[in-house]
């Protein structure tokens, strides 16, 4: 079938999402974000799985309704198999299996990280421009930071990656140190708009090749503040915007510097960014600037496809459908890497 109707489900962390695609065209994408974690300053896995259990039926019904598609029209069900929180994944995986089994249609298993990268191939209109291969993609999320070379949809070579924390994790931890709430990335982005990125200097580590390291930035930020707070207890309050702008400058500057080096070495002329941190306004701007300077074609995802969503799971599932790669109903979710 050329243009199958695919129902996609994403439940790897704290967003319950369902999407419907016809071929590579997105018909609907519904996301229920879980507010329950805010008061704890991070995602509480047990609460996440319970909320997924409550959200999943209305979210799927909403996606079908918004797409104008009947349950019986669905030709395949795609789901995120991993990586993610085990209890959260189990809700989406079990739901997808039951749904596909009930309809008698194939299952498509999707890797969450591949889905983030493949979000660039979602078409929302007939004249949508999608990347060609080869393509270098910087994948930056709460749990991962990798520079990937794509030769085809599923041929992804890792050119470089973080040796410790992810970029999103560094943003979240910096925000936590300043008591700005969770997730911290969007808060830092917002407060940084009013701040001076040169107000404070945080050193970036010297890491060989195309790899990253973010745990040192977090530590130097922590020590810097600890020393200042002894003298001035209201230091964070008074310099919040400058602190956010400076730490963001440090993290984004490091991300782009290594990305530019890796792309240059690869000789590839198309560059993309993906994952939650690709929503960061400074990163988006810097990557666009890099593209103009180097004459590379740059792909920055629309905001709605940066953080977790089922549309990206649907497009990855579609490419698997085309290859006839159906998943067995016995497949378990995986929390860490592909298993």
Q: Is 83 helix (H, G, I), strand (E, B) or coil?
A: coil
When CB distances are held under 5 to 8 angstroms depending on the partner's kind, the choice from Zn ion, ligand KG4, none that residue 279 binds is: ligand KG4
Q: Is 4 in the site for ligand KG4 (CB under 6 A)?
A: no
Q: Shortest distance, CB of residue 289 to Zn ion, whole angstroms?
A: 25
- In whole angstroms, how close is the CB of 308 to ligand KG4 at the nearest point? 4
The answer to whether 249 contacts ligand KG4 (rule: CB under 6 A) is no
| Spatial separation of the C-alpha atoms in residues 243 and 160, rounded to whole Å | 28
Interface mask toward ligand KG4 for 100-139; x: CB under 6 A:
----------------------------------------
Q: Which of 114, 141, 162, 210 binds ligand KG4 (CB under 6 A)?
A: 141
Please report how close the Cβ of residue 14 comes to ligand KG4 at its closest, in angstroms. Answer: 9
Nearer to Zn ion, 212 or 305 (CB): 305
Applying CB under 6 A, among 185, 291, 317, 333 the residue interacting with ligand KG4 is 185
Residue 28 bridge partners (DSSP): 20
Q: Which residue in 60, 279, 287, 311 binds ligand KG4 (CB under 6 A)?
A: 279
How far apart, in whole angstroms, are the C-alpha atoms of residue 239 and residue 272?
33
How far is it, in rounded angstroms, from Cα 315 to Cα 309? 11
Instruction: Check residue 80 for interaction with ligand KG4 (CB under 6 A).
Output: no
Task: Report the helix count and the strand count for the chain, using DSSP H and E.
Answer: 9, 10
| Closest by Cα among 210, 315, 322, 316 to 268 | 210
- Give the CA dihedral 155, 107, 16, 83, nearest 10 degrees: -40
Burial-class residue 249 by CB neighbours within 10 Å (0-12, 13-18, 19+): buried
Burial (CB count <10 Å: 0-12, 13-18, 19+), residue 73 = middle
The residues near 55 (Cβ < 8 Å, ≥ 6 apart) are 16, 32, 34
DSSP per residue, 160-182: EEBSSS-HHHHHHHHHHHTT--S
Q: Which of 141, 204, 280, 309 binds Zn ion (CB under 5 A)?
A: 141
Nearest approach in angstroms of CB 276 to ligand KG4 is 2
Q: Which partner, ligand KG4, Zn ion, none, binds residue 171 by CB below 5 to 8 Å per kind?
A: ligand KG4
Stretch that binds ligand KG4, among 63-71, 85-93, 165-173, 222-230 (CB under 6 A): 165-173
Binding site partner of 277, from ligand KG4, Zn ion, none, Cβ cut-off 5-8 A by kind: ligand KG4
DSSP string of 287-323? Answer: HHHHHHHHT-EEE---GGGTSS-SHHHHHHHHHHHHT
Match 């001035």 to its residue by tokens. 232
State yes or no: residue 13 binds ligand KG4 (CB under 6 A).
yes
List the one residue from 106, 131, 276, 291 that touches ligand KG4 (CB under 6 A). 276
Q: Is 80 in the site for Zn ion (CB under 5 A)?
A: no
- What region does 181 belong to: left with phi over 0, alpha with psi -120 to 50, or beta? left
Q: Are 154 and 148 in contact (CB under 8 A)?
A: no
* Residue 195 lies near ligand KG4 (rule: CB under 6 A): no
Residue ranges in 297-336 that form contacts with ligand KG4 under rule CB under 6 A: 307-308
The stretch near Zn ion (CB under 5 A) out of 58-66, 140-148, 173-181, 319-327 is 140-148
Q: Which residues are CB-neighbours of 125 under 8 A, at least 6 positions away?
A: none
Task: Say whether residue 308 binds Zn ion (CB under 5 A).
Answer: yes
Our finding on whether 92 is near ligand KG4 (CB under 6 A) is no
Residues making contact with ligand KG4 (CB under 6 A): 13, 141-143, 168, 171-172, 183-186, 189, 275-277, 279-280, 307-308
Residues making contact with Zn ion (CB under 5 A): 141, 308
């Amino acid at each position: 079938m050329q243009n199958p109707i695919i129902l996609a489900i994403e439940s790897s962390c704290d967003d319950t999402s369902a999407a419907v695609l016809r071929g590579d065209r997105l018909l609907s994408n519904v996301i229920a974000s879980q507010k329950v974690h805010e008061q704890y300053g991070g995602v509480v896995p047990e609460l996440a799985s319970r909320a997924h259990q409550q959200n999943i039926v209305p979210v799927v019904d909403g996606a079908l309704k918004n797409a104008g598609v009947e349950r019986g029209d669905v030709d395949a069900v795609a789901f995120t198999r991993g990586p993610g929180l085990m209890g959260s994944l189990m809700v989406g995986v079990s739901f997808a299996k039951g749904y596909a089994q009930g309809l008698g249609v194939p299952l498509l298993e999707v890797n969450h990280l591949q889905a983030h990268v493949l979000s660039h191939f979602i078409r929302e209109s007939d004249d949508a421009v999608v990347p060609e291969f080869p393509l270098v993609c910087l994948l930056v999320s709460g749990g991962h930071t990798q520079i990937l070379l794509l030769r085809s949809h599923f041929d992804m070579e890792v050119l470089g990656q973080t040796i410790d924390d992810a970029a999103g994790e560094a943003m979240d931890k910096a925000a936590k140190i300043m008591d700005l709430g969770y997730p911290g990335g969007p808060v830092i982005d917002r407060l940084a708009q009013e701040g001076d990125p040169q107000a404070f200097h945080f050193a970036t580590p010297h890491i060989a090749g195309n790899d990253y390291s973010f745990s040192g930035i977090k530590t130097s930020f922590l020590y810097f503040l600890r020393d200042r707070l002894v003298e001035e207890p209201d230091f964070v309050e008074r310099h919040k915007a400058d602190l956010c702008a400076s730490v963001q400058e440090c993290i984004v500057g490091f991300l782009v510097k290594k990305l530019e080096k890796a792309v240059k070495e690869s000789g590839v002329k198309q560059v993309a960014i993906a994952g939650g941190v690709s929503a960061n306004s400074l990163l988006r701007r810097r990557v666009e600037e890099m593209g103009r300077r180097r004459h590379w074609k740059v792909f920055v995802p629309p905001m709605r496809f940066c953080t977790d969503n089922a549309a990206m799971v649907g497009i990855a599932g579609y490419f698997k459908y085309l290859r006839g790669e159906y998943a067995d109903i016995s497949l378990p979710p995986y929390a860490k890497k592909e298993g």
